[in-house]
Every structure is written in structure tokens, then in C-alpha cells.
Amino acid sequence: MMEKVIVHEVGLRDGLQNQSKHVHTDSKLEILSALIASGIKSIEVTSFVSPKAVPQMSDAKELYQSLPKKPGLHFEALVPNLKGYERATESGAKTIALVLASTDTMNRKNINMSLDEALKVNLDVIRRANNEGIRARCYISTALHCPFENYVNPIEVLKIADKLDTAGADELVIADTTGGGNPQQVDELFKALVISHEPKKLAGHFHDTRGMGLLLAWVALQHGVRKFDSSIGGLGGCPFAPGATGNLATEDLVFMLNQSGYETGIDIVKVRNAVKVAQGYVDQKLGGNIVGWLDTQKSL
């Protein structure tokens, strides 16, 4: 029996958040429909942040209330604080995502808070979510490289993970926000993480800035991680982290997993179609490394 790996699509949020061309709600729903048709069932659809800070997410409430209500689909919304949490849950969100940078400088540059202040906000939201039956995924961003401090002490990442877990986080997502990590770092960090946290509680979020996103995912996979973020066509990059370009492309991740004998439940040909749909609404050509090869195949 093949082992199941969950591919968590973040293109609609992380992918679109810093696009210069505004993508309307109906267009986002069309991209979402193509993603669902490919077999993707776990999707981060938006973020309840300030519309002034991230204009692309200004339709968060409208989008969330327009999501299809089909069995087996799992949607989530990113929230920055308790106010965002309340907006998200009032709009129907049952799973929320929180982001905490691993370094003090990144938190100050991103949200004008110290690491300790930002941690407290995250812990308060986690506890509120626990009390209200809302699932909380917690990102530790810049976990491998910080654009301001460069080196990230893995011990600090482990400490943050322990605090989030103790507070009641349902999932810990280790994020290489700038794509500056390397395989050795991932190997050592996840080797340490799985000692204190069950692998099923861990997930990976890797960027392909330096062309190593897929390799980093493979290393984490060897430590028992069975859930990974990816973005359709490689869309995305944090607008608040210099040098953070595209996310790991969903099509590359799905192809690797399917070819390696893991069960994703995702049709790679239909993922390719979703890439084409998304490309029609952004000002850039989309597609991971596998797209060129896929387009030469008459049958798969």
C-alpha cells in the first residue's frame, strides 16, 4: 500500500499576494475550480490581513463565503492576529494559519513587533482557536535563512516549535521563506524536530529561489514528513522578505511524489491545466521545471 502525502496548495494566497495585476474573486474561484478538478483537496485560499498592506487579499470575506461546499475539501485562511482570526472565523474558516518569523529582525521588518511580542500574539490566537474548535496551522518562517540576519540558529527554531506545540498548535510548518536553505540544514533540523514532535504534525514549505525546493522537500520526506506546501506554477514569494521568489511548484512536487510511489490523489495532467488557467490571470509565465517535459508527452 502506497504512503499518502498531502500536497497543500498555497497559490491562491501566497502565490497571488504580491502580484501587480489584480486578480478578481471570480478569477480566483476559476483557478480554485481547476485545482480541485486535479485532485488537490488541501488549499490555503486567502489571508485576512489589512487590505491596505496586501490589496490582492481585499476580497477575503467574499472569497471565503463563495467556496464550494464539497466533502473532503480542506480550506484554510492565513490570519495575522486576533482581529484577523475573528474576521476569518466569522467568514466561515475552520482552519487558520499563523506565521511567526524565527528571527527578531524579520518580525520587526514584517509586522513591527519583536520576536517575543509576535510569539505572544501567535500563542493567544492558538489558545483562542483551541477553545473554539478551530484548527491552527503554525508557520515558523525564515526557519533556514533570514534576509536580514542571514544565519538562523536551529536551536531557536526548535524552541519556537516547542512553545507553539505546547500552546496547542495542530500543525507546525517549517518554512524556508527565502529559499536560502540547503539539504544539510533540512536534514539536521527535521532530525531534531521529529524527536520532540510526531512527523504527522510537521509540514514543509520550501521556496525554489536557488533551485533546491524539490530537494529540500525530499530530505524532509525522508524524516517522515507527509505534508508539503506548494504553489501552482511556482507562483509567489513573500512581499516582506527580500529575495523570496517563487514557491516550490505544485506540478514539480506532485510529479516527484507520484513517480516515487507516494499517493497524492492528484492528476498531473489536470494540474498542468490548472497552471494554464492561473497563467491567464497574472502578468508572468508560469510553470515548474517539469512543465516543458509534460507538454511534449502525448499520454501519461
Checking phi first, is residue 151 left (phi over 0); if not, alpha (psi -120 to 50) or beta?
A: beta
What is the number of alpha carbons within 13 Å of residue 184 lying toward its C-beta? Answer: 0
Please confirm, yes or no, whether 238 is among the known catalytic residues: yes
Q: Which residue in 16, 77, 238, 290 is the catalytic one? A: 238
User: Cα–Cα distance between 243 and 261 in angstroms, integer?
Assistant: 34
Asked if 262 and 15 count as a contact pair (C-beta separation under 8 A), the reply is no
Residue 206 DSSP label: E
Q: What CA–CA distances, in Å, run from 128 to 91, 96, 131, 139, 205?
A: 16, 11, 5, 17, 25
User: Cα–Cα distance between 15 and 13 in angstroms, integer?
Assistant: 5
Count of beta carbons in the 10 Å neighbourhood of residue 36: 18
Catalytic residue ranges:
238
